[in-house]
Structure 1
Amino acid sequence: MGTVRTGRPARTGRPGAVEAVVFDFYGTLVRMVPPLPPTHESVFLARGLAGPAARWGDQWAVGPGDGEEHRAHSATEESYVAWERDRLRRRALDCGVPEDQAADLAAELDRATKSLALEAFDDVRAALTALRARGLTVALCSNWYWDLDRAVERTGLADLVDVVVTSARTGARKPHPLMYDTVLDACAVAPERALFVGDMWAPDVLGPLARGMRAVHLHRPDPAVRGAAPPLPDGAARITDLSALTDLL
Structure 2
Amino acid sequence: MSTVRALAIDFGGTLANPGPSPDGSKVAGILGSLPGMTVSDGFAAVFDSITGQLRRTDRDLGTQTPFAERLCQAAIESGTVLPENVDTIVEKVFTAIPDGEIDAAAAQTLRLLHDRGMTCVLACDTQRPSTTRRATLQSAGILNCFHALVLSSEIGVRKPHSRFYDAVVAAAGCPVSEILFVGDTPAKDAIAPHARGMRSVLIATQRPAGLEESIGVIEHFSMLPEYLEALDAP
TM-score using structure 1 length: 0.66
User: Where do 5+ consecutive residues of structure 2 fail to align?
Assistant: 33-38, 229-234
More helix by share: 2
1:241 match? 220
Shift of 1:55: 8.2
Residues 90 and 125 (structure 1), Cα distance of their counterparts in 2 relative to 1, 3 Å cut: closer
Instruction: Give the one of 107, 110, 113 matched to 1:125.
Output: 107
* 1:24-173 to 2 correspondences below 5 Å: 24-31=10-17, 39-44=23-28, 49=41, 53=45, 56=48, 65-66=58-59, 67-68=62-63, 84-91=67-74, 97-98=78-79, 101=80, 103=82, 110=90, 111-113=92-94, 115=96, 116-144=98-126, 145-147=129-131, 148-173=133-158
> Aligned partners of 1:39, 1:56: CA distance in 2, in Å?
6
Shift of 1:62: 5.2
Shift of 1:135: 2.7
> Aligned partners of 2:9, 2:227: CA distance in 1, in Å?
15
- Residues paired across the two proteins, number: 209
Shift of 1:26: 2.5
Sequence identity percentage: 25
Q: Contact 2:47–2:70 (CA<8 Å) still a contact in 1?
A: no
User: Residue 158 of structure 2: SS of its match in structure 1?
Assistant: coil
Residues 61 and 119 (structure 1), Cα distance of their counterparts in 2 relative to 1, 3 Å cut: farther
> Aligned partners of 2:52, 2:189: CA distance in 1, in Å?
19
User: Residue 188 of structure 2: SS of its match in structure 1?
Assistant: helix
User: Residue 123 of structure 1: SS of its match in structure 2?
Assistant: helix
- Are 1:19 and 2:19 an aligned pair? no
C-alpha offsets along residues 206-246 of structure 1, whole Å, 9 cap, x if unaligned?
A: 221221111111136xxxxxxx9742522322222112212
**Stretch moving more, 128-137 or 19-28:** 128-137
TM-score using structure 2 length: 0.69
User: Residue 245 of structure 1: SS of its match in structure 2?
Assistant: helix
Q: Contact 1:29–1:121 (CA<8 Å) still a contact in 2?
A: yes
Shift of 1:141: 1.1
Shift of 1:170: 2.7
> Aligned partners of 1:103, 1:117: CA distance in 2, in Å?
24
Which residue identity lines up with residue 112 of structure 1 in the other structure? V
Shift of 1:68: 1.2
> Aligned partners of 1:84, 1:38: CA distance in 2, in Å?
10
> Aligned partners of 1:170, 1:55: CA distance in 2, in Å?
23
Residues 156 and 88 (structure 1), Cα distance of their counterparts in 2 relative to 1, 3 Å cut: same
Which residue identity lines up with residue 227 of structure 2 in the other structure? L
Residues 216 and 114 (structure 1), Cα distance of their counterparts in 2 relative to 1, 3 Å cut: farther
